[in-house]
Structure 1
Amino acid sequence: MGARAVGRDGTARGVLASRAAWAAVAAVVVAGLTAGCGPDGGAPVTPSTPAVSTAPTSTGTPSAAAGPVLPDAGSVRRDGSPLADAARPGHDAGSLLPVDGGDLQVVDQGDGSVAATVQGPPGALAWVAPPPGGRGKVQTDGSLTLHDEAGTVVAALAAPVAADGTRAAWRPSGDVVALDGPTGSASFVVGTVPLEGATWGENEGGRSLAVVPAPWVRDGGLAAQQALASQLSATEPEAASPSMQAQLWCHVLGARDKASWNLEPWRPEVPTTTLLATRCNPTDDDA
């Protein structure tokens, strides 16, 4: 769909919902595993009669130079644009609120996610709030996950990038997360539905769960991958086992093009190098 502008008041609230060789993958993973004022002093001052000031008295209104006023999470939820997919009524994935005078545009990417662009004065361009009782967490790659009160990831926001290709940033501030854009513009992908399907069946030696990730997750960053693992565990609690979680990450790293990722609860836990060498399908002989 086309771009839509959303102002600071959130009146046009739209949806903000977007192999390498095994040896190379193994090298990357193994490498990762081997690496989460007091006042100034001075001379005594002789009291003197204070001079009469002709400067106007402050009215208490913050100046533009002071930057935008930091809102709380409740204000962002009330006045901002919801991040949840409009096709999922009642699903709370948090909200985004541009600064006064800022502008928000979203474009559906056709893969279950949207591309969002926020423009405004350089500095803090917008704020993001998680659902009530939830939290936001900036991942090591600069992406952002929003968690609900139960801890489930309900939204994944990619690392933001400015129009000139430089990095913008997510920055926790109070109970919200600020979007900092030094150039006055930042774009990022937002996804809230990372899991398209999870179906139990029989495969090889026993029960198997066929997991179908949303397209935007396959090439997404850490936030997208965390969202998939979190929502899969919430949907199928058995998939939260260490073995099945390890198989899931193995497929994320090395089998992104497969139509579905088959995870088996009966497969043993093995070292990461073994897991990758067996193409995510270790047996008891590999343990």
Structure 2
Amino acid sequence: MIARPPRAVALLGAVTCAALLAACTSSSADPTPMAPSSATTTTTTTSKPPTATPAPDAPPSAAAVRGGLALRADGARAWVLAADGVQVTKHRADDGSIRLTFRDSRTAADAPLAYVTGADPETFGDGTALVGRGGLTPSHGRLSDDGADVLALTARGGEGTTTLWFAGSTVAHTSWGNREGGESLAVTPTAWARNGGLAAQRLTWDQLVAAEPDADSQTMHDQLTCHELGAPDKATWNLEPWRPQVDGLAMIAARCNPT
């Protein structure tokens, strides 16, 4: 596997790429998830925790959160426990991903809306997270680490509703071929991979390398990141192992295709 740069450097590079690439793409840089498809089915439930939800300074244990709503998507698994007074609406899309919408009737605006647990939780600077082999992307909210394998979801910006998109799959299809005279890997990402923020960048790379071990090189990683930031709506992301490894600015100037 390739060496990873320090998190601070990687994040700075991602912010720079996103700003410079905004001018050459019509897609939004906001990682807000896309609306579910018309075929999405919806069920509504109000969380009924086994015990009263603790105060914000005393989050529930992971065991208590597992008594809440179970989420399963393409092999990923997590649990969500909503706070008292918070209503949850669950949507499952055709691609297997799940969106939860939280409506808060409480007066304590800064109190967590819900708690999330699952295997190996990890949060990122943009408020997204990985948990239970899947990814979580909030809209109008953010996830933070409350310790003891529990993540807290809080609202952001005074919005009336907050959504949480859970997905287990990032790569819908891959195909090797020839492009511009050399070997090329066409990657078709899932909807969540296109809009999932920093968590999606990490999980997409991990799943791509697992599916296509020959893609594990620094130039392929950098091309993928460039496409995630600058061309999220492109039908396929074409990655070429023969392209040179260049710095971020050169990658942007080459529109993700350095020569």
Same fold (TM over 0.5): yes
Cα deviation digits, residues 230-258 of structure 1 (max 9, x gap): 22122223323211000101212233333
Q: State the SS of the aligned residue for 1:259.
A: coil
In percent, how many aligned pairs have the same letter?
37
Q: How far apart are the structure 1 equivalents of 2:151 and 2:167?
A: 17
Structure 1 distance, partners of 2:43, 2:58, is 25
Residue 121 of structure 2: aligned partner: 135
Q: Following TM superposition, by how much is the alpha carbon of 1:211 offset from its aligned partner in structure 2, in angstroms?
A: 0.5
Following superposition, the deviation at residue 263 of structure 1 comes to 1.1
Query: Structure 2: which amino acid aligns with 1:143?
Result: T
Contact in 1 for aligned 2:121/2:129 (Cα 8 Å): no
Aligned equivalents of 1:235, 1:76: Cα separation in 2:
32
Residue 99 of structure 2 is aligned to residue 156 of structure 1: no
Pick closer, same or farther for the CA change 1:171–1:269 going to 2, 3 Å: same
Name the CA shift for 1:5/1:114 in 2 (closer, same or farther; >3 Å). same
* Offset of residue 185 of structure 1: 4.9
- TM superposition shift of 1:101: 5.1
**Deviation of the 1:213 alpha carbon:** 0.4
Counterpart amino acid of residue 170 in structure 1: L
> Deviation digits for residues 14-57 of structure 1, max 9, x if unmatched?
xxxxxxxxxxxxxxxxxxxxxxxxxxxxxxxxxxxxxxxxxxxx
Distance 1:247 1:223 in 2: 17
Specify whether residues 249 and 178 from structure 1 end up closer, same or farther in structure 2 by C-alpha distance, changes over 3 A only: same
**CA shift in 2, pair 1:205/1:170, >3 Å:** same
Alpha-carbon distance change, 264 to 70 in structure 1, aligned in 2, over 3 angstroms: same
| Higher-strand-fraction structure | 2
Counterparts of residues 202-221 of structure 1 (less than 5 Å): 202-221=178-197
Of residues 93-102 and 270-279 in structure 1, the stretch that sits farther from structure 2 once superposed is 93-102
Checking the alignment, whether the CA contact within 8 Å between 1:125 and 1:185 is kept in structure 2 is no
CA contact (8 A) 2:127 2:144 kept: no
Match of 1:151 in 2: none
CA contact under 8 A between 2:80 and 2:116: conserved in structure 1? yes
Task: Show the 5 A alignment for 1:251-270.
Answer: 251-270=227-246
| 2:69 aligned with 1:81 | yes
Residues 105 and 3 of structure 1: CA distance in aligned 2, closer, same or farther (over 3 Å): same
Structure 2 stretches of 5 or more lacking a match?
A: 1-39
Q: Which runs of 5+ in 1 are unaligned?
A: 11-60, 149-153, 162-167
Equivalenced residue count is 212
1:242-253 matches, cutoff 5 A: 242-253=218-229
CA distance 1:5–1:172, shift in 2 (3 Å): same
CA distance in 2, matches of 1:269, 1:67: 46
